[in-house]
Amino acid sequence: MSKRVLILGAGHAGGTAAALLRQYGFAGEIVLAGDEPLIPYQRPPLSKAWLKGEADAESLELKPAEFYPEHDIDLRLSMVAVRINRQAKTVSFVDGETLTYDILIIATGARARWLDIPGADLQGLVSLRSAGDAEKLKGALTPGSKLAVVGGGYVGLEVAASAKALGCEVTVIEREARLLARVASAPLSEFYAAQHRSHGVEILTGASVAGFEGDGRVSAVMLADGRKIACDTAVIGVGGMANVELAKDAGLACADGIIVDLTGKTADPAIYAIGDVSHRPLPLYVRDMRLESVPNALEQAKQAASDIAGRAPPAPEVPWFWSDQFDLKLQIAGVAFDADTLVVRPGGPNAIAVFHLKGGRIQAVEAVNSPAEFMGGRVLIGSQKVVDSALLADASVAMKAIVTG
């Protein structure tokens, strides 16, 4: 009997899963339901190429529009799911339509965390998660305009770099003592703070936002210490929250995301969850966590599609991430769990690599404009080979020699 796979969410994870199911020989029905009006598109360029006018919706498409009918994928847009009925195997949508499934893939991603403080309802406050958000922000980034970025994480810094390139005055406001405090090492934080300041970005750390001021539209960010940061627009970049509500209401186990196994399957054998919304095992680190990255979305799409199509599971990958700011390409491999040693490998004035080791084995590497360190570190994380930290710190020793030695 032919099976129907219903995919909720048409981002990187959901769109890739649909394409891979066909590539892997799945012959049943595929319905790909996204809550946005656009066909599946790449999100990372939203904070960079889109804001700078170097990309549009068509250039960011994961697949051209004709791909979906050509591969018998029923792409439904602007479909907002409101309820999963596991017993009946149905999903209800806000427009009243109900779709059945034999297999359900939840790929609903994550949403921007908002601030519940005075003035948070003013015009001119934006987050950045969708093409609609990016388009709204793009219209505000005019030469000479003042942009406040609340949150010194990767998205906030990417927006700051793009806005500066467009001629804006930019202030980044970070509550913690350093930029990227929750996601990067101190040397990397110091490197990025220096780079942004050298481009004219004002960086305020240890600065808590108490509210926003304005008459209908934001005109200033109010800090807890009484300072006011004048702005025409403010970007809220204080992290994301997994869209787990549908799964929770359906009785599926959730932590920071929907709990799944190595195939992306939940405790319900008919339901998978992949991408930013899932809380997945990381066998290399013997723990589970939620990852927000395109490589993770692609890996989990492969896992779920392979399982559904009856193929052997794909080889596990070392998690990796990236960020582009100014002329700096950051590539991160691995996750720095329980590291006991930090090794900084110097590069040129615009390059650095930071290795996190545990018991002599590399757990993670952060590499800016250092592709050899990123690629070599990624291999060493996967092999769990014991490495001499003195060699890592010596830039005159080639990474290839460390990997093969």
- For 242-246, the CB contacts below 8 A with 24+ separation are 242/109, 242/110, 242/276, 242/277, 242/278, 242/279, 242/290, 243/108, 243/109, 243/110, 243/111, 243/277, 244/277, 246/8, 246/81, 246/82, 246/83, 246/84, 246/106, 246/108
**Predicted pLDDT of residue 70:** 98
Type and span of the H or E element at 399 = helix 399-404
* Nearest-angstrom CA–CA distance, 155 and 323: 8
Instruction: Provide the H-helix boundaries in 24-153.
Output: 67-70, 131-138
390 by Cβ neighbours in 10 Å (0-12 / 13-18 / 19+) ranks as exposed
Q: Helices (DSSP H) in 202-356: which residue ranges?
A: 245-249, 294-309
- The whole-angstrom separation of Cα 235 and Cα 140 is 11
Distance of CA 172 to the CA centre of its chain: 20
Buried b vs exposed e over 308-346: b needs ≥16 C-beta within 10 Å? bbeeeeeeeebbbbbbbbbebbbbbbbbbeebeeebbbe
The per-residue pLDDT for 347 is 87
Ranges of residues in the chain whose predicted pLDDT is under 70 = 1
Q: Residue 203 in contact with residue 173, Cβ under 8 Å?
A: no
What crossing angle do the helices spanning 12-23 and 294-309 adopt, rounded to 10°? 30
Residue type for position 142: T
Nearest to 240 by CA among 256, 255, 254: 256
Given a contact cutoff of 8 angstroms between Cβ atoms, the answer to whether 104 and 84 are in contact is yes
Distance CA 221, CA 214 (A): 9
Check: CB of residue 191 under 8 Å from CB of residue 349. Answer: no
Q: Specify whether the CB–CB gap between 195 and 201 falls below 8 A.
A: no
CA distances from 150 to 108, 161, 210, 253, 292 (A): 25, 14, 11, 32, 20
Strand partners, 283: none
Give residue 348's pLDDT: 80
Q: Rounded to an integer, what distance in angstroms lies between the CA atom of residue 125 and that of residue 148? A: 10
Q: Domains in the chain, start-ordered, CATH in brackets?
A: 4-111+240-309 (3.50.50.60), 114-236 (3.50.50.60), 327-404 (3.30.390.30)
